[in-house]
Amino acid sequence: MFTFYIFIYFTGSTQLYQIFRLSEEMKRLSVAFLFLVLICFSGLSQQDPLTSQYMFNTLTYNPGVAGTSGMICATALNRQQWVGFKGAPSTTLFDVSAPISLFKRKHGVGLVIETDNVGFDKDLNLSAVYSYLLDLNIAKLGIGINLGIINKTIDPTWNIPDYGNGFVSPDDDPLIPTSKENFVAFDAGFGVYLNADKYYASLSVTHINQPKIKYTKEKTKVISYVSRHYYLTAGYNVQLTNPSFELLPSVFAYSDGKIIQFNVTSLLRYNKKVWGGVSYRAGDAVIGIIGFELFNGIRIGYSYDFPLSDIRKNTSGSHEFMVNYCFDLSLGKSPMRYKSIRFL
């Protein structure tokens, strides 16, 4: 008898959500094959959380950005992906960074806190960030590392479809967890960030040590790895004829070494206080982004993802909320307007 397993993955996690066991009948094999093709077409193996307003949370995937703004900057972001879809990803991010001077050199330090819930998989990442800053003639260069922990918790609640005779419960498979488990592993990343008045460029890698995650079921060790993720992003500031308006195009690409995905974004900013635009995530979603700056320098942003894949039949879309604040410690507020396409 042939036995097949289909694992359903959500964007942002490789943790399985449901499991089916099919017998060798040709009818069931045909259905299974078609279903597997659809899942592979629309799913991703991306393990890091997905965000649409990537220009605000650069520190979460590139430690080199810490301190490059010359100010203390904090960002909070919450993303509710695929609203209405049971077990859909939910992500909350918080990061803060500041420039410091030590031994007559410029540095940056920061902290990143990240929670990501997908199905019955719940992750918590904590990282301390350090960057070494260089003043070039036309730009600032930050070379950074982040060191921390990744805490992965799996708490499965199985929904077993009735496939009739021959079905085997997860309890009978030594490699499928059936109870709550938790594991903590060391995590590290590296990044380089270049920032100028009119442009920026960023290259980084997360989980550079590929943390090993171990689960145990009845004395059997189940081992998985968090894959390295590679990030490349760049943007430019185009001053329009009317000096109150700026066009801010940018690109954002990321990969786990197997799948590559990218965003192309164009924002229009008015008087450096209000912005809005559209982003396209290849094969996944069209995104609308809006934001504004309050009188005290606090920036608030919102984005909505309209999915293009078949999952749109079961969800009303994805919502993402962002709050950002940069200030000078000596003044308690920002003493200058930002010239860069980046808002941090």
CA nearest to 75, candidates 327, 324, 293: 324
CATH 2.70.70.10 fits 4-327, yes or no: no
Name the more confident of 273 and 22: 273
The domain limits of the chain are: 4-327
Quote the pLDDT of residue 324: 96
* pLDDT tier for residue 161 given thresholds of 50, 70 and 90: low
Q: Which two tokens stand for residue 125?
A: 């990442």
Question: Would you give the distance in Å from CA 81 to the centre of its chain?
Answer: 12
**Span 70-99, pLDDT tens digits:** 999 999 999 999 998 888 899 999 999 999
- Strand duo 229-236 + 245-255: pairing: antiparallel
Q: 166: which residues sit within 8 A by CB, 6+ positions away?
A: 1, 21, 23
Is the distance from CB of 57 to CB of 63 less than 8 angstroms? no
- Residue 99 sits at φ, ψ, to 5 deg, of -85, 145
β-pair partners for 72: 327
CA nearest to 309, candidates 261, 269, 266: 261
DSSP string, 126-146: EEEEEEEEEE-SS-EEEEEEE
**Span 145-158, pLDDT tens digits:** 999 999 998 888 77
Q: Is residue 14 predicted with pLDDT exceeding 50?
A: no
Give percent above pLDDT 90 in the chain: 56
Task: Count other C-beta atoms under 10 Å from residue 310's C-beta.
Answer: 10
Quote the pLDDT of residue 182: 87
